[in-house]
Amino acid sequence: AGVLAAHKITASSPDTDLPTVSGLRKIGVNFTVSNKDTVKSSDVLFLAVKPPIIPFILDEVGPDIEPRHIVVSCAAGVTINSIEKKLSTFCPTPKVIRCMTNTPVIVREGATVYATGTHADVEDGKLLEQLMASVGFCTEVEEDLIDAVTGLSGSGPAYAFTALDALADGGVKMGLPRRLAVRLGAQALLGAAKMLLESEQHPGQLKDNVCSPGGATIHALHFLESGGFRSLLINAVEASCIRTRELQHLADQEKISPAAIKKTLLDKVKLESPSLSLESTSKVSLFTNKS
Amino acid sequence: RRGRGSEGSMEAAELRVGFVGAGRMAGGLARGLLRAGKVPASSILASAPSDKNLDAWRESGCRTTHCNLEVLQESTLVFLATKPHILPGVLQEIRPAVGPHHIVVSLAAGVTLQTLQRLLPAGTKVLRLMPNLPCVVQAGAMVFARGTGAGDGEATLLKSLLSSCGLCEEVPESYINIHTGLSGSGVAYVYLFAEALAEGAVKMGMPGGLASRIAAQTLLGAAKMMLETGEHPAKLRGDVCTPGGTTIHALHQLEKGALRATVMNAVEAATNRACDVAKD
B93-105 tens-digit pLDDT? 999 999 999 999 9
Tell me whether residues A226 and B261 touch, CB distance under 8 A: yes
Q: Where are the domains of chain B?
A: 17-171, 185-278
pLDDT value of residue B280: 67
CATH number of the domain to which A110 belongs: 3.40.50.720
CATH (residue range B185-278):
1.10.3730.10
Residue B123's SS3 state is coil
Residues with Cβ within 8 Å of B251's Cβ and at least 6 positions away in sequence, in order, are B237, B241
Average pLDDT over residues A186-195: 97
Q: Is there a domain that residue A245 lies in?
A: no
Q: How far is A73 from chain B (nearest CA, A)?
A: 26
pLDDT value of residue A230: 95
* HSE-CB for A163 with a 13 A CA cutoff: 19
Residues with Cβ within 8 Å of B57's Cβ and at least 6 positions away in sequence, in order, are B22, B27, B30, B44, B46, B64
Structurally, how many domains does chain A consist of?
A: 2
pLDDT value of residue A257: 59
∠ at Cα A9 (A4, A15), nearest 5°? 145
Question: Using a CB-CB distance cutoff of 8 angstroms, which residues of chain A are in contact with residue B238?
Answer: 202
Predicted ipTM of the assembly? 0.73
CATH 3.40.50.10470 fits B17-171, yes or no: no
pLDDT value of residue B35: 86
Same domain, A56 and A107: yes
Same domain, A178 and A105: no
Same domain, A161 and A95: no
At A7, the pLDDT band (50, 70, 90 cuts) reads confident
Of A107 and B35, the one with more pLDDT: A107
At B6, the pLDDT band (50, 70, 90 cuts) reads very low
Q: Residue length, chain B?
A: 280
Would you say residue A278 has pLDDT above 90? no
Which stretches of chain B are assigned E, i.e. beta strand?
17-20, 44-47, 63-65, 77-80, 103-106, 125-130, 140-146, 166-170
- Give the residue from B9, B60, B36 showing the smallest Cα distance to B164: B36
Q: Are strands A95-100 and A110-116 parallel, antiparallel or unpaired?
A: antiparallel
Give me the amino acid identity at B174: S
Q: How far is A71 from chain B (nearest CA, A)?
A: 30
pLDDT value of residue A114: 97
Q: Is there a domain that residue A278 lies in?
A: no
For residue A106, how many other CB atoms are within 10 A of its CB?
Answer: 10
Taking only the tens place, the pLDDT of each residue in B7-65 is 444 555 579 999 999 998 899 899 888 988 889 999 999 999 988 889 999 999 999 99
Q: Is there a domain that residue A36 lies in?
A: yes
Interface test with A, best of B175, B232, B241, B271 (most A CBs within 10 A): B232
Q: What percentage of residues in chain A have a pLDDT greater than 70?
A: 87
pLDDT value of residue A198: 96
Same domain, A131 and A32: yes
Average pLDDT over residues A217-235: 95
Radius of gyration from C-alpha coordinates of chain A? 22
Same domain, A227 and A189: yes
Cα separation, A192 vs A217, in Å, equals 14
CATH number of the domain to which A196 belongs: 1.10.3730.10
Same domain, A103 and A124: yes
Would you say residue B117 has pLDDT above 90? yes
Q: How far is A202 from chain B (nearest CA, A)?
A: 6
pLDDT value of residue A283: 42
Same domain, A21 and A132: yes
Tell me whether residues B261 and A222 touch, CB distance under 8 A: yes
pLDDT value of residue B161: 92
Residue B64's SS3 state is strand
Task: Give, in order, the Cα–Cα distances in Å from A16 to each of A24, A33, A268, A273, B92.
Answer: 11, 8, 9, 21, 95
Taking only the tens place, the pLDDT of each residue in A13-32 is 877 778 888 888 888 888 88
Tell me whether residues B258 and A208 touch, CB distance under 8 A: no
Q: In which domain, by residue range, is A23 found?
A: 6-142
Residue B206's SS3 state is coil
Q: Is there a domain that residue A252 lies in?
A: no
Would you say residue A270 has pLDDT above 50? no
> Quick one: closest CA in B to A220, which residue?
B261
Average pLDDT over residues A42-56: 86
Same domain, A30 and A58: yes
Q: Do domains B17-171 and B185-278 have the same CATH topology?
A: no
Same domain, A128 and A189: no
> Quick one: closest CA in A to B248, which residue?
A234
Nearest to A202 among B235, B260, B261 (CB): B235
- Indicate yes or no: pTM above 0.90: no
Where is the binding site, in residues of A? Answer: 13, 35, 48-51, 74-76
Tell me whether residues A230 and B255 touch, CB distance under 8 A: yes
Of A32 and B179, the one with more pLDDT: B179
pLDDT value of residue A258: 58
Mean pLDDT of the residues in chain A: 85
Same domain, A28 and A94: yes
Quickly list H helices, B9-130: 24-35, 51-59, 68-74, 87-94, 113-119
Interface test with B, best of A225, A229, A233, A245 (most B CBs within 10 A): A225
> Quick one: closest CA in A to B264, which residue?
A222
Question: Using a CB-CB distance cutoff of 8 angstroms, which residues of chain B are in contact with residue A238?
Answer: 252
At B71, the pLDDT band (50, 70, 90 cuts) reads very high
> Quick one: closest CA in A to B258, which residue?
A228
Residues with Cβ within 8 Å of A253's Cβ and at least 6 positions away in sequence, in order, are none
pLDDT value of residue A262: 60
Cα separation, A224 vs A201, in Å, equals 22
Average pLDDT over residues A139-148: 96
Q: Is there a domain that residue A111 lies in?
A: yes
Q: Is there a domain that residue A92 lies in?
A: yes
Q: Is there a domain that residue A272 lies in?
A: no
Residue B52's SS3 state is helix
Which sign, positive or negative, has the C-alpha torsion A117, A120, A123, A127?
negative
Q: Is A210 on the interface with B (CB under 8 A)?
A: no
Of A168 and B52, the one with more pLDDT: A168
Cα separation, A57 vs A45, in Å, equals 12
Q: How far is A232 from chain B (nearest CA, A)?
A: 8
Concatenating the DSSP letter of every residue in A27-61 gives: TT-EEES-HHHHHHT-SEEEE-S-GGGHHHHHHHH
Mean pLDDT of the residues in chain B: 92
Cα separation, B208 vs B34, in Å, equals 33
Tell me whether residues A225 and B233 touch, CB distance under 8 A: no
Question: Using a CB-CB distance cutoff of 8 angstroms, which residues of chain B are in contact with residue A230?
Answer: 255, 260
Tell me whether residues B235 and A226 touch, CB distance under 8 A: no
Cα separation, A245 vs B219, in Å, equals 38
Q: Give residue ranges of B with CB < 8 Å to any A CB.
A: 232-235, 238, 252, 255-256, 258, 260-261, 264-265
Which sign, positive or negative, has the C-alpha torsion A91, A100, A112, B240?
negative
Give the number of beta-carbon pairs within 8 Å between A and B. Answer: 39
Residues with Cβ within 8 Å of B2's Cβ and at least 6 positions away in sequence, in order, are B73, B76, B101
Interface test with B, best of A231, A233, A245 (most B CBs within 10 A): A231
Q: Is A215 on the interface with B (CB under 8 A)?
A: no
Tell me whether residues B258 and A231 touch, CB distance under 8 A: yes
Q: Is there a domain that residue A51 lies in?
A: yes
Q: Are strands B140-146 and B166-170 parallel, antiparallel or unpaired?
A: parallel
